[in-house]
Amino acid sequence: MKKITIIVALILTLFVSNSCVDDLLDQKPLGQNYGDVFWVDKQGAEKGLAGAYSLFRSTLLNGNSFMMWGEFPGMFLLNTPQWIVGYIHGGNYVLAYWEYTREWEKFYQTVTLTNIIQERVGALDVSKFKENSSTSNDEAQKEKNRILGEALFLRAYSYFWMTRIWGDVPLVTEAIESSDQLIDDNGYVIGLERTPEADVLKQILADLDQAKKWLDYSAPGDENWAIRANKGAAEALEAHVAAWAASRVTGAEQTAYLTRAKTACDNVITKSGASLVDYSEEDAVVDMFEGQSTEGLFELNINTAQNEAFRVYISENTHVGITLDEPFQSGKNNNVAKTSFPSGQTVINRYPEDYRINQFFYNWGPNGFLRKYSAMSPDGASTDRFAFFSEANVILLRLADIVLLRSEVLAKQGKYAEAAIDLNTIRNRANLPNYSGTDNDMAVEIFNQRAVELVGEGHNAFDRIRNDYWEGVGFMSASRKAAKGYFWPIQGNYLLINRKLTQNEYWRGKL
């Protein structure tokens, strides 16, 4: 929890771009009153929001964390030679298994900054958001609301990732700009207990309710389409949160959450402006992952021209480094980044006419690998013929995901005919015939279609938890599941620093 105490000056100097930092340092030296200098107008608010996006992005990308948390534990896709995946699949977790995924502090950095934005930007007079004298109060208020709405979206998404990974997590919604706020009168650090998962989910949904009021829908072609939050992205996240919440309860409460998830999906599908990419077109998926396609709803931007890219190395540190092989990285990744499908091979091989076999994979078979993240550009400043920058976005939310999520929700509501329509929308797009199985088998087919459609995008492990479906996952025993062993362990030093924290049940005595 130590990073929760980071003051705003430290956050901004570390995570806002260099040009922004230079501008800020020109204004006034860093100090206790730095926030009073920074949060004074729209320019400062925009820079703070950019810092929050940067923090959120780095949290999910570092060490390909989004795949470590959301993909590999599902065992539909794994990276054969990567040693750490063996520990995830083996269920050991004895080692400090991956330095980037064992800690939640980076999420709390994002939360801290978004909390500060809510307080500081919320307190600014609307006149501070006028571009010029001709800007109306309504236009200025809309800009202020947009910044606040995007920040709430990032806070909600950060907490949603955390609760899916660790379950109960400390809930902090107040702005913390000084370590003094976490020190009591006797000089001791104020401990924070883990908030029940149900309460965290309710806060996430409350944040999204407010964010939706402040945000507008966008459309493909807009400058910030999919790479900044809008109302459609907020509703897509709401659909996921409500579906997850429904899986944690029963009875009338479950029914209410499923209804909310269905409504959110409806809004995304009919109002967001997104549309499905045509998989019959050559390289449609690789092109989609270059970013801001008609299908994307919220993505992590990877773009060299915008100084938001990284080099493609043979490395476990990036999702690109572990999924690409020859010919994309000839001589570099050879026989290193092969992928295999312990529970996915059979599912994918059912339909050799499936467009996704060639759209998603290169050289499908025992030595095939995922090519969703294969878009890259050469480094013109380097003479090394293997020097490339990644140009493929990480798509966190897209329309196909929401169509299949609605199908899942409808099936859980017993509306199988409606569920089949959405299921067939995705099957037909992939060149597959309509679903012809029974109502009882539909849930498994929806899961399988999500697994294939969203492979490598960080959904499969969470889909398994949400649906309590562990076919093909040998490490998930009945006793482990009963002890919520699908959640990750709490980092040990957090328990030492904050004595009010407790370890997740399954991991007690194992670390």
User: Is pLDDT of 494 > 80?
Assistant: yes
Average pLDDT over residues 306-330: 75
Q: Which 3 state secondary structure label does DSSP give 186?
A: coil
* Percent of the residues in the chain that have a pLDDT greater than 70, as a whole number: 80
Average pLDDT over residues 120-145: 96
399: in domain: yes
Same domain, 6 and 152: yes
Q: What is the pLDDT of residue 332?
A: 52
Q: pLDDT-derived band of residue 82, with 50, 70 and 90 as boundaries?
A: low
Length of the chain: 511
Convert the pLDDT of each residue in 161-174 to its tens digit. 999 999 999 999 98
Q: pLDDT-derived band of residue 101, with 50, 70 and 90 as boundaries?
A: confident
Same domain, 158 and 259: no
467: in domain: yes
Q: What is the pLDDT of residue 354?
A: 95
Q: What is the dihedral of CA 446, 92, 109, 494, to 10 degrees?
A: 140
Q: What is the pLDDT of residue 321?
A: 79
Q: What is the pLDDT of residue 509?
A: 83
Tokens of 247: 């899986």
464: in domain: yes
Name 62's Cβ contacts closer than 8 Å, sequence gap at least 6.
Answer: 100, 106, 317
> Which range is most confident: 337-351, 375-389, 431-445, 477-491?
431-445
Same domain, 81 and 136: yes
Name 381's Cβ contacts closer than 8 Å, sequence gap at least 6.
Answer: none
358: in domain: yes
User: Is pLDDT of 222 > 70?
Assistant: yes
Sign of CA dihedral 122, 124, 126, 132: negative
Cα–Cα distance measured from residue 500 to residue 281, given in angstroms and rounded to the nearest whole number? 55
480: in domain: no
Cis status, amide bond into 196, omega within 30 of 0: no
Cα–Cα distance measured from residue 502 to residue 262, given in angstroms and rounded to the nearest whole number? 35
Tokens of 397: 């939310």
Q: pLDDT-derived band of residue 97, with 50, 70 and 90 as boundaries?
A: very low
Same domain, 190 and 101: yes
Same domain, 302 and 319: yes
Cα–Cα distance measured from residue 34 to residue 459, given in angstroms and rounded to the nearest whole number? 40
Convert the pLDDT of each residue in 264-286 to its tens digit. 999 999 999 999 999 999 999 99
The CATH number given to whatever domain includes residue 254 is 1.25.40.390
Same domain, 332 and 368: yes
Same domain, 187 and 110: yes
Q: What is the pLDDT of residue 320?
A: 85
* Helical axes 231-247 vs 137-166, angle rounded to 10°: 30
SS (H, E, C) 203-245: HHHHHHHHHHHHCCCCCCCCCCCCCCCCHHHHHHHHHHHHHHH
Same domain, 275 and 303: yes
CB 237 within 8 A of CB 209: no
The CATH number given to whatever domain includes residue 11 is 1.25.40.890
312: in domain: yes
Average pLDDT over residues 123-128: 96
123: in domain: yes
Same domain, 328 and 191: no
Counted domains in the chain: 2
Pairing of strands 376-378, 388-390: antiparallel
Convert the pLDDT of each residue in 19-52 to its tens digit. 333 332 233 333 334 567 689 999 999 999 999 9
Name 240's Cβ contacts closer than 8 Å, sequence gap at least 6.
Answer: 160, 261, 397, 405
Q: pLDDT-derived band of residue 444, with 50, 70 and 90 as boundaries?
A: very high
User: Is pLDDT of 175 > 70?
Assistant: yes
Q: What is the pLDDT of residue 476?
A: 87
Structural domain span for residue 234? 216-474
Say how many CA atoms lie within 13 Å of 448 toward its Cβ: 19
Same domain, 202 and 281: no
Same domain, 225 and 367: yes
Same domain, 202 and 319: no
Q: What is the pLDDT of residue 293?
A: 98
362: in domain: yes
User: Is pLDDT of 218 > 70?
Assistant: yes
Pairing of strands 394-398, 296-300: antiparallel
